[in-house]
């Protein structure tokens, strides 16, 4: 096994995925970013020579197989960051009005694809004594009108993360809630509204990196709490 740490980041073409990929590359990691949009993904890879773009849809079993082949060729996987998410229709419908096919797509992207990637890549993560981070949301634990589809999917992913942590005590398994961010997906959740007051995804990356640096017990962590822990003099 080569000594360079390797990460796979889904949804790596924008937002937190892109910011995390570039931050890890700065630390000398080999980073594979995957996502459906080819040109934005290639732009991320162009910014760091240790970032490799692997375009595709994580809900596609064929693409997941290509990812597994790429990881096997690298010989190790220190971090699996399941960041790709589907919000659902915009404007966001109530649960009673939610189209079944749209809800199925949200669960396919936000729950089934991460679990399938974990199953496909877990041996490589085990070999590296690595980390699995599944991106969560406050909508997984709070009831917001219109957020039922996305929130239910993230709640399912949270619970799956907790079960994985019990089943894989040798790994660090985290559900990570980044909080509100100024991203395309968050804008889609609030069509026509000004979300410029939300923080950039880059401001969340230090909290995510602190999970890797400090390796606390597996569990669910909020970026806001990790930021407070890193700066105990800051009041919440």
- Is there a contact between 127 and 74 (Cβ–Cβ < 8 Å)? no
pLDDT in tens, 119-142: 999 999 999 999 999 999 999 999
Find the helix packing angle between 100-107 and 148-167, rounded to 10°: 30
State the CATH number of the domain containing residue 166. Answer: 3.40.50.720
Share of the chain above pLDDT 90, in %: 81
Tell whether 102 is covered by a domain.
Answer: yes
Give pLDDT tens digits for 186-210.
555 556 666 576 668 889 999 999 9
* Average pLDDT value for residue range 89-94: 92
Query: What is the domain extent for residue 169?
Result: 6-230
Is 144 labeled as catalytic in the residue annotation?
no
Mean pLDDT of 111-115: 98
* Phi and psi angles of residue 184, each rounded to the nearest 5 degrees, phi first: -60, -40
Whether residue 17 is predicted with pLDDT greater than 80 in this model: the reply is yes
Residue 224: inside a domain, yes or no? yes
In a domain, 1, yes or no: no
pLDDT of residue 235: 39
In sequence order, the 6+-apart residues with CB closer than 8 A to the CB of 197 are none
DSSP lists the bridge partners of residue 132 as 80, 173
Q: Which of 98, 144, 150, 174 is catalytic?
A: 150
For the entire predicted model, the pTM comes to: 0.90
- Percent of the chain predicted with pLDDT > 70: 87
Total domains, the chain:
1
Supply the mean pLDDT for the chain. 91
Domain-located, residue 235: no
């Amino acid at each position: 096994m080569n000594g360079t740490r390797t990460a796979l980041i889904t949804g790596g073409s924008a937002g937190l995925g892109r910011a995390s990929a570039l931050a890890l590359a700065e630390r000398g990691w080999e980073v594979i970013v995957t996502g459906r949009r080819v040109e934005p993904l290639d732009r991320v890879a162009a910014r760091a020579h240790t970032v490799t773009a692997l375009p595709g849809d994580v809900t596609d079993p064929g693409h997941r197989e290509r990812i597994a082949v790429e990881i096997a060729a690298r010989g190790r996987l220190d971090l699996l960051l399941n960041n790709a998410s589907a919000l659902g229709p915009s404007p966001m419908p109530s649960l009673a009005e939610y189209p079944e096919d749209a809800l199925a797509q949200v669960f396919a992207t936000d729950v089934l694809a991460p679990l399938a990637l974990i199953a496909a890549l877990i041996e490589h993560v085990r070999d590296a004594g690595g980390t699995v981070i599944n991106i969560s949301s406050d909508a997984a634990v709070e009831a917001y009108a219109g957020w039922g589809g996305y929130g239910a999917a993230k709640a399912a992913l949270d619970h799956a993360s907790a079960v994985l942590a019990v089943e894989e005590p040798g790994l660090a398994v985290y559900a990570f809630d980044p909080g509100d961010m100024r991203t395309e997906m968050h804008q889609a959740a609030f069509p026509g509204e000004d979300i410029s007051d939300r923080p950039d995804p880059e401001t969340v990356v230090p909290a995510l990196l602190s999970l890797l640096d400090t390796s606390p017990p597996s569990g669910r962590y909020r970026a806001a709490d990790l930021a407070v822990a890193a700066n105990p003099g800051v009041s919440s």
